[in-house]
Amino acid sequence: MLHKIVKLTVMDVRFPTSSEQHGSDAMHTDPDYSAAYVVIETECGLKGFGLTFTLGKGTEIVVCAVEALAKLVVGMSWQEIVSDFRGFYRLLTSESQLRWLGPEKGVIHLASAAVLNAVWDLWARAEGKPLWKLLVDMDPKQVVSCIDFRYITDALTEEEALDILLKAREGRQQREDQMLREGYPAYTTSCAWLGYSDELLTQLCTDALQKGWTKFKVKVGADLEDDRRRCRLLREIIGQSNTLMIDANQRWDVAEAIRWVSSLAEFNPLWIEEPTCPDDILGHAAISKALAPLGIGVASGEQIDSCRLGSINENLAVLLMAHKFQVPVCPHAGGVGLCELVQHLSLFDYICVSGSLTNRMCEYVDHLHEHFASPVVIRNGHYMPPKDLGYSCEMLASSVQAHRYPEGDVWKANTSK
C-alpha cells in the first residue's frame, strides 16, 4: 500500500523554561525551550512526527519556513521518498529560491530537519520498528544511499562510507545485545546551568550522584572568577574520580578561550565545548593545540545534533566522517525532544559505525520529557534503547494544545511573554 502524504501541519510549541533559568548559559541567558512541531499525515491514516528545537522567539520564523517546504512534500508517498532519500534531501535543501536562506544552515535548514525528522519517523512506524532498529537493520548500501555526498567527497567518498559499514558488521549483533542490556553511556547537563544558585547546583548534583550519574557538564563563560568558584564547588561534590566537562556556548574569541580555559585547568575538565564560533575551524584547531598540554580536549560545534543538522541524513555523514578520522562523537541533546531523538543516532553509531564506547557519551538534560508519548528511559546514567515505534518525538496532544504559542493556556496566563 502506498502511503501518500496528504497533509503537513506545523505548530509553534513553547515552554516557559526561562522562568526558572533552565537551559541558561553564557550566550543564552533566558531560553524558552521551544519547537516547530511537524505532523505528516498519509491517506491511509499513518502519521509521522518531527520537530526542530528553538529557544522561543523566532520559532514563528521556522514555522513559516516549514510551511514553505510543505508544498514540496504533500502529494508524495513515503515509499517514493525513501527510494531516493538522497534526492528528497536535496529537494528540500536545494530548492532554488529557498536555498538562498541557507544553504545548509540557518532557518531553512532547521525547517528541513523538522520535515525530514517527521519522514524518518513515518518510515520507522511503517516498518514497525524504533528508528535506531530501522537503521541497524538496513543494508549498508541503503544507509549510504540516504547521504548527500556533495561537498564532502574530499573527506569521505561513498566507497569509503560503504567500507566502514561493511567492516563494522563483525560483532554487530553482540553490540546490539549489549545496548539492550546496558544502554548507551550519558552525561548530565541538568545540574549546572549558569543561572542556577549554588544551593540548587549542590542539591541537583548530590541527587544525580545517588541516581548513578558519573559524568557532569557545567556552563561557563560569563565571569571567570564565578566559573572558578562553581567548578570548584562541583568538583568538591562529585569528587576527582568522576568526569567534569565545561561548555562556553561560543562565548569567546580564540585567545580569550585559551586564557580562560587554562585558568580552569586545575579542575581537570575533560573538554571545553564550543569555546568560540562554531564555524571557526582554524580557531578550534588553535585552541585544541594550546590546551593539549593541559590534557583538555575541545568539543567543536555541538558534535552531532538531530535538529540543527539536516536530520538523520546529514548526521549519518558526520558519524562516518568522524569514524574515518578517529574522532569520538558526543552528541548534543537536551532542549525539547533532542534527547528523545539523538539517542537513536548514538545507538546506531556504536552498533554499526564506531563499534567503540571509548571517550563517547551522549548528553542528557532532565527537562520536559513528560510531554512526549515515548520519553527517554535513563538507567544508571545510560540511555536504554527505545522500544516504541518511530523516532520518539511524538508529543502528547494535551501538551501541544496547552503550549501552542500564543494561544495555549500556558501562554495566555504568561502575559510577560
* CATH code of the domain in which 340 resides: 3.20.20.120
Same domain, 67 and 204: no
Query: Residue 177: which domain range?
Result: 172-395
- Is 219 catalytic? The answer is yes
Q: Is residue 137 part of a domain?
A: no
Same domain, 97 and 181: no
Residue 413 pLDDT level (bands cut at 50, 70, 90): confident
Same domain, 197 and 75: no
Same domain, 119 and 223: no
User: How many separate domains does the chain show?
Assistant: 2
Say what the pTM is: 0.96
Q: Is residue 165 part of a domain?
A: no
Given this model, what pLDDT does residue 303 score? Answer: 80
Q: Is residue 145 part of a domain?
A: no
pLDDT in tens, 305-329: 999 999 999 999 999 999 999 999 9
- Is 382 catalytic? The answer is no
pLDDT in tens, 20-36: 899 888 889 999 999 99
pLDDT in tens, 360-407: 999 999 999 999 999 999 999 999 999 999 999 999 999 999 999 999
Q: Of residues 323, 332, 344, 371, which has the active-site annotation?
A: 332
pLDDT at 416 over 70: no
Same domain, 240 and 367: yes
Same domain, 243 and 379: yes
Q: Which set of grid coordinates corresponds to residue 350?
A: 556504536
Given this model, what pLDDT does residue 327 score? Answer: 95
pLDDT at 300 over 90: no
Mean pLDDT of the region 153-178: 98
Q: Which set of grid coordinates corresponds to residue 223?
A: 565571569
Given this model, what pLDDT does residue 104 score? Answer: 85
Q: Is residue 166 part of a domain?
A: no
Q: Of residues 219, 344, 371, 403, which has the active-site annotation?
A: 219
Given this model, what pLDDT does residue 401 score? Answer: 97
* CATH code of the domain in which 26 resides: 3.30.390.10
Same domain, 376 and 408: no
pLDDT in tens, 337-359: 999 999 999 999 999 999 999 99
pLDDT in tens, 247-279: 999 999 999 999 999 999 999 999 999 999 999
Distance CA 117, CA 309 (A): 11
**DSSP label at residue 351:** I
Q: How many CB atoms lie within 10 A of CB 350?
A: 25
Long-range CB pairs of 199-205 (<8 Å, 24+ gap) are 201/230, 201/233, 201/234, 202/233, 202/237, 205/234, 205/237, 205/238
Given this model, what pLDDT does residue 209 score? Answer: 96
Contact of 33 with 20, CB cutoff 8 Å: no
Given this model, what pLDDT does residue 65 score? Answer: 97
Residue 289 pLDDT level (bands cut at 50, 70, 90): very high
pLDDT at 417 over 70: no
pLDDT in tens, 35-71: 999 999 999 999 999 999 999 999 999 999 999 999 9
Given this model, what pLDDT does residue 310 score? Answer: 94
pLDDT in tens, 199-244: 999 999 999 999 999 999 999 999 999 999 999 999 999 999 999 9
Same domain, 113 and 182: no
How does the average pLDDT of the chain come out, rounded?
A: 95
